[in-house]
Amino acid sequence: MDNHILEVNNLHVSFKTRNGEVPAVRGVNFSLKKGETLAIVGESGFGKSVTAKSIMQLLPKQNTIIPEGEILYEGKDLLKFSKKEIQNVRGSDISMVFQDPMTSLNPTMKIGKQIMEGLSRHMSLTKKQARERAKEMLELVGIPNTEARLDAYPHQFSGGMRQRVVIAIALACNPKVLIADEPTTALDVTIQAQILRLMRGLQEKMDTAIVLITHDLGVVANMADRVAVMYAGEVVEQGTLDEIFYSPQHPYTLGLLRSMPNLDAPRTEPLIPIPGSPPDPASLGTGCPFAARCPYTMKVCHDHNPDYTAVSGTQAVRCWLQDERTPEEHVPEVIRKGRQTSEIAADQAAIDAAGGVPV
């Protein structure tokens, strides 16, 4: 589709280690429309951050291999860009907010200078104009007393304030895409909510598309338009926020949702964790990577990795349960039920797209 600002196709990323190449990302696909928020969820170590960093090409060159795939930004493949060209994209077209605001600012450089650096790199501004703009950005992210704060050092800010500064740096040059890698994980809950609200507000104002990387489903529910669920370096399920939350089709997504605490449930009710532990990316077989932990495995799961099945116009799943050959009675009821609601939603979407039918 033309209105995709960012498209990641069949991306593979591996790391060279002493024990050979370890695949961290294995064929990731997703796309992002202008002004949209895509959340990438999954447990730690499943290649979420690697995916994000490979878009900006911030992974260490010496030990990273990208054997396959393309990352299209406005139709152009970033992986084919020269060093210089990618530097021009970084910070001006695509920006990034990192996980830990305590470490992502240079401790010996004034905040103002850290914001102005990117500005003078990408926009032809005088020093005075850059400073003005930096001040505006601080105001925009809700930092009071901006004139004085420009000359303050990071250690004079609290964690939440620092993350605001990091966001100001990222958005200073009006990027079209913001990649936020666990932007609230290191913050306490009340600050989390503030930062998320701030990001949403700025997104509306600046029409930025956001790739939000998180393991926190609460954050996803708050922010995302669409969700991609990652498992062991693959996107196992992708869909709109409602589809993922109300009609998950992949057993892993289902497991994730079930392991989320429910405030309405009685306190005696235990959480349902996903049994087993995540697979070692260095020793993945040919089968579905979730097979070992999946309650619904079939024979085929252990030997062959399934392909994507489109469940609706917006939802796609990588699971053998979706295959036509899978006997209907083997498919668990939750997933079958979800499929129906998905269809209803898809029908509804089609109706909406057609201009809506008055009830």
Contact positions vs another protein (CB under 8 A) = 56, 58, 62, 83-84, 87-92, 95-96, 98-100, 103-109, 117-118, 121-122, 153, 155, 166, 169-170
Token reading at 153: 């050092």
Q: Give the angle subtended at the CA of 91 by the CAs of 109 and 178, to the nearest 5°.
A: 115
Closest distance to another protein from the beta carbon of 56 (Å): 6
How many Cα atoms within 13 Å fall on the side-chain side of residue 36? 18
Q: How far is the CB of 113 from another protein (least distance, A)?
A: 9
Residue 77 CB, nearest approach to another protein (Å):
18
The token pair at 16 is 């060279």
Long-range contacts of 82-88 (CB under 8 A, 24+ apart): 86/56, 86/57, 88/122
Cα separation, 328 vs 22, whole angstroms: 37
CB of 10 to another protein, least distance (A): 24
CA neighbor of 140 nearest in space, from 207, 205, 219: 205
Separation between Cα atoms, residue 308 and residue 29, nearest integer Å? 10
Q: 286, exposed or middle or buried, with CB in 10 Å at 0-12, 13-18, 19+? A: exposed
**Kind plus residue range of the DSSP H or E element containing 118:** helix 111-122
46 vs 98, which CB is nearer to another protein? 98
Residue 245 beta carbon to another protein: minimum distance, rounded to whole angstroms: 31
Min dist CB 84 to another protein, Å, is 8
- Shortest Cβ distance from residue 182 to another protein (Å)? 12
Which of 183, 251 has the CB closer to another protein? 183
Task: For another protein, give the closer residue by CB, 104 or 305.
Answer: 104
Beta bridge partners of 31: 7
Nearer to another protein, 16 or 197 (CB): 16
Q: How are strands ordered across the β-sheet holding 37-41?
A: 94-97, 177-181, 209-214, 37-41, 226-231, 234-240, 316-318, 308-310
Bridge partners of 76?
73
In the complex, what is the shortest distance from the CB of residue 281 to another protein, in angstroms, rounded to a whole number? 21
Contact in structure between 111 and 117 (CB atoms under 8 Å): no
CB of 28 to another protein, least distance (A): 20
Nearer to another protein, 43 or 117 (CB): 117
Cβ proximity to another protein, 6 vs 236, nearer residue: 6
Residue (21 or 85) nearer to another protein, CB: 85
| Closest to 253 measured CA to CA, from 319, 183, 304, 209 | 319
User: How far is C-alpha 185 from the chain's CA centre?
Assistant: 13
Residues 6+ away with beta carbon under 8 Å from 14: 21, 22, 23, 24, 64, 65, 66, 67
| Residue number with CB closer to another protein (102 or 206) | 102
Question: Is the Cβ of residue 80 or residue 337 nearer to another protein in the bound state?
Answer: 80
Comparing CB distances to another protein, the nearer of 63 and 259 is 63
- Rg of the Cα trace of the chain? 22
- Smallest gap from Cβ 335 to another protein, in A, equals 39
